[in-house]
Amino acid sequence: MTEDQLRDAILEALTEEIARRVAEKLQQLQKKALVICTGSALSFSTWLVGLQQLAEAGFRMDLYLSESACQVLDTEALCAAVPFGKVWKGRLEEAPEKLAASYPTILVPALTVNSAAKLAHCISDTPATRMISNSMMRGKNVVVSVDGCCPDNSDRPAMGYRMTDGLKAQLRRHLEQLQAYGASLTTADRFASRVIRTIQGPAVSAEAAPEQKAAPAPVAVPGEYRVEKRVLGRGDVSALPAACTLRVKQNCQITQLAAEVLQVRRIKVIREG
């Protein structure tokens, strides 16, 4: 190896190491998070475990509880299970936007139908909706568990809910709007993993920011689409309309991000042999 080659190799190694350390530092900064809970107790024990997993992964979390959250959630169990730094409840002495300003990441494990509707229509009249809406406007990491506001939650019928198709469709549109505004939607059982993937960004996970693709070509039956790929990613389904039918090969592998899009948009998947 010549002296010039050695110098180039050293510079390349130093550049890679600096880039790695900068990326690690940026990810650590993203782990400063404000957890916002509104008044939904659906899947409480599930997303509570998710928050514990995030704490173990190095997340530094503070907590805001809306007035309704204080009434329906077991706040003592929540605060005992997760090492929150600061906890705010109900009305705030300072502007909600100011409180949330220093947090790169906003986590919403409990979102009500009411709050989802307000956010979808850009109505911010509570501390929770003001902080979430403002954070989306600023392009922050906003991760929302939809268990409390999704009409397709399997726990709802057991609770006495009998929604019409029209009402369900409207509530689904609210979730689609939140996704369009930049929020990352997931379910309580996938909350921790989705948060981690969100802060890692495209440099770590190609699935985190897939290339935009056109919707798959429709098949002969209206409302049905077909994808011939062996692996189905989020980019393959992101342009599909809600409540359609997607036909895939029997052995097609569906990634977790794609599965979340299919669930939120209520897209039926049919495997063909």
Cα 137 versus chain centre, distance: 16
Domain boundary pick from 200, 221, 243:
200
Shared-domain flag, residues 268 and 171: no
Structure tokens at 68: 């309704």
Shared-domain flag, residues 93 and 173: yes
Mean pLDDT value across residues 71-99: 96
207 pLDDT above the threshold of 60: no
Residue 194, domain member (yes or no) = yes
* Amino acid, single-letter form, for residue 81: A
Shared-domain flag, residues 83 and 124: yes
pLDDT band of residue 216 (cuts 50, 70, 90) is low
Shared-domain flag, residues 91 and 214: no
Do 36 and 136 touch, CB atoms closer than 8 A?
no
Residue 1, domain member (yes or no) = no
Task: Tell me the residue range of the domain where 104 lies.
Answer: 31-200
Shared-domain flag, residues 66 and 185: yes
- Dist CA 114 CA 134 (whole Å): 18
**What's the pLDDT tens digit per position in 47-84?**
999 999 999 999 999 999 999 999 999 999 999 999 99
pLDDT band of residue 210 (cuts 50, 70, 90) is very low
Shared-domain flag, residues 45 and 126: yes
238 pLDDT above the threshold of 60: yes
Residue 171, domain member (yes or no) = yes
Domain boundary pick from 200, 219, 248:
200
Domain boundary pick from 200, 215, 249:
200
Residue 17, domain member (yes or no) = no
Shared-domain flag, residues 70 and 118: yes
Lowest mean pLDDT among 15-24, 51-60, 80-89, 123-132: 15-24
Shared-domain flag, residues 105 and 168: yes
Residue 128, domain member (yes or no) = yes
Q: Which residues pair with 272 in a beta bridge?
A: 249
- Dist CA 45 CA 183 (whole Å): 23
CA dihedral 109, 130, 26, 188 (to 10 degrees): 10
- Dist CA 32 CA 104 (whole Å): 6
Mean pLDDT value across residues 24-32: 76
- Dist CA 222 CA 245 (whole Å): 9
How many CB atoms within 10 Å of residue 142? 24
Shared-domain flag, residues 190 and 257: no
Do 104 and 141 touch, CB atoms closer than 8 A?
yes
Domain count, the chain: 2
Residue 95, domain member (yes or no) = yes
pTM, whole model, 2 decimals? 0.69
Shared-domain flag, residues 255 and 150: no
Residue 152, domain member (yes or no) = yes
Q: Where are the alpha helices (DSSP H) in the chain?
A: 3-30, 44-56, 67-72, 75-81, 96-100, 113-120, 127-137, 165-180, 191-200, 234-237, 256-264
Residue 3, domain member (yes or no) = no
Shared-domain flag, residues 240 and 139: no
Lowest mean pLDDT among 29-38, 138-147, 153-162, 226-235: 226-235
Average pLDDT, the chain: 86
Shared-domain flag, residues 35 and 152: yes
- Dist CA 55 CA 235 (whole Å): 30
Q: Find tokens 């993993």 and name the residue.
A: 193
CATH number where 142 lies: 3.40.50.1950
